[in-house]
Structure 1
Amino acid sequence: MEKAVEFILSRFSALRNRLDEHMLEVINGAAVALVLKVLGAGLTFLFNLVLARTLGAEGAGLYFLALTVTTIATVFGRLGLDNVLLRYVAANASIDDWRAVKGVYVKGMRLAFIASSLSAVAVFVFTPTLADEVFQKPELVIPMRWMSLAVVPITMLILYAEMLKGLKRIRDSLLVFGVGVPAFSLAALLLLGGNYGVKGAVWAYASGAILTALLGVTLWRIAAPKLREISTSFRTNELLKSSIPLFWVASLNMLTNWTATFALGIWGTKEDVGVFGMASRTAMLTSLILTSVNSISAPKFAELYKKKDMVALGATAKNTAKLMTLIASPLLILFLVVPQWFMGMFGEEFQKGGILLSILAIGQFVNVATGSVGYLLIMSGNEKLMRNNVIFIAIISIVLNVVLDPLYGALGAVVATAVPLAVQNLIAAYLVNYRLGIKTVSWLPYK
């Protein structure tokens, strides 16, 4: 036994010695990120579990519809600035250009605050129209209006998390966007005890968003104290040049991700929305390793591309794709073998969603196996290629949902979600190879 342990340790040591400094940084950062991502996913799972047990499938369906509208509003509130701030903060911090970092920060946050405030007002004003005429669920008015309070803080905390990531403060970034909201929301939901129904769940989420946004402000001020004494220097046109294509990327990604929920809200039942929502959030555990690695690989990609070190960029991209595929495989197998058991944890009425979980997990696994191809395009200044890819996928998503959801309900929705997700990442992998000469996965047919 002792010899076996020594052999394993020696193999890990040999593997570590073969990795370059960039990959070691990614692995070390990803390890921290994975721990916090697992914590955040666990808290989110507990929140969804308490939500499902308290509200049932129909109540959960109303909550997810309100959350969908809020999520869409935050996309408009961010204006595509999240990835822009990440890219420019990471690139300029790597060469100690702190005037540019502050310029990006000040101008980006001002734009986002104005846009997210307008989005929140729009949600509040148009809620009766959405609830009565679009979803035909009048009981959605009050939860959706309360949920509009979360638009500005969610927008702000996402941007603070991305900027912290750009400074390679991975722990702080994930505390803000990953752990904070589910932790505070779960605590608030448990305190409310389900006495206020769907409205209470919305209150819990909104309060979690506000507290986490305040945490983001605090951690950013601690991470970048030198910015207080520096004058700003950054051209607004340069910021908007990158943010506008990325705004369309974020908007169309949102459209692809949430079209199924919207379609089920129109053509399906509240129970369909609830079961689909739980299956979708559970399947995302498959891509947990991807988001963990992206936390450190995205700023690393921006740094290496800024320094024109394409050899290191390609090696880092390939090795991270292999690592993520290896780690995600066991969870995919579980979701394929015992999906009903996972869905049954939310209650008996959710158990029928086992097949939904399996299909969605396959789509998420393709997302993981192709590697961080989306970030490779964005961090290398190829956001327009990414935008064109997402436009094509959004059209596929809409067509599939319109055709399948009225006929097959939640089953049609998961097919219309998983297929576009897989195709989008396969196309992005091709574009990375075409533009950057990097092949992230060996099994793809191109050179």
Structure 2
Amino acid sequence: GNITYKRNSVDIRQADYVYWSAPVKAQTLGGVSPLTLSDKYLSWETTKWVANPSTSFMTAGKGYIIRGPETFSNTVRTPYTASFIGVPNNGTIAGETAVPSTYYLIGNPYPSALSADDFINANLFLVGTMYFWTHNTPVVLGPSYKYNSDDYATYNLSGGAGTQKAPSGGAAGTNINVPSGYIAAGQSFFMGAKAAGSISFANSMRRAANNNGQFFKPAGASKTADLEKNRVWLDMTNEEGAFKQILVGYIEGATNDYEDMYDGLTFDGNKYIDFYSINNASKLVIQGRALPFADTDAVPLGYRTAVEGNFTISLSDADGKLSTQAVYLEDKTTGTLSDLRAANYTFATAAGTFPDRFVLRYTNKTLGTGDFENTENGILVSVKDKTVKVQSSKEAIQEVAVFDISGKLLLDKKKVGANELQVSNLQAGNQVLLVNVTLENGFKTSRKI
């Protein structure tokens, strides 16, 4: 028979959209928010938002967005409770049929939490990163309301990254809208498709009520330890309120290559700032790396800012083996190495894109053994007649990667296994290039040519 399922949304304003899905059968859009303007019930159809009549029934497994009630303020956030009335959805449910290179707004069809990991593993034709709307940034009011696409929190098998700074004086990682790995009843989210397939849900993906509390408002959330995960979260902020969080993790099942189930691309939707880790020229808000973790690993970090001034990079949280591991930030522009467990790192920057300024490290010694100066002096990178030559006098070369100044990967030669590499016929005009060299002993350096 019918149930009434109530879901409290994050506190919203009249102009805010909430991302909903129906946990019951025969639920109308208008029944979720009766006082919303009639043309503000939307679904995502392939490439654009489409308005739906308020009398339309919500399809199980499909997401919808509904603007706040017209009676709500546009300056003060107010709690909103939706009531879903109908027979609860149960059993195997088929969602939309996906086509490659298309995004879909997918909804949890059950009146219980859904395991994000189970859903990702059961729908391998989807790109494995989920994007959740968080209402973090106020809507820009005017003739055309403007919404900030960087307000999507992200989640994949490596974990989640949020869009909200922890409160002053709060413990690291607390009260940030980082996805917990459980999709609440009534919640929808974006995922892209990399191949054709039918989106599917099953009762085996469902979880108990104590995992059903995160409907994208700051709240404690339970976590699982099904896989080994050793993770670190970094925040980039300024005094004016700009914020971007990234996650780097050493995850069971991940490799150091790009994999959409463990690596999440940044949406780069924020007008003012983007912050990301880099792997094979991909700009990532979440990066999963291979086990076992070694403190000799180093991860390049880049950023983009539309404003000049001072920014701060801080250690927000860490877990697994990284909960006690030293975490360092190398600034290649100033030549400094900062201990992020001891203090946040504040730096000055001009406006622009800087794809190679920072490196995340776990030791203050670039080499575990040996002499840094001698090894650095033993590497020569030169160019003549458009042929790039990389030479190492002491250690064999493991990998050479060449980027242009925008961060685009032009060449990635792995398993070199020799003390010299020559690269000719490089597809690059007259410009500055960055040559990243990795030696067999793990030492890494970057040279400009």
Q: Taking CA–CA contacts closer than 8 Å with sequence separation of 6 or more, which of the two structures ends up with the larger relative contact order?
A: 1
TM-score category of the 2 structures, normalised to the smaller one: under 0.3
Structure 2 length-normalised TM: 0.24
Whose strand fraction is larger, Structure 1's or Structure 2's? 2
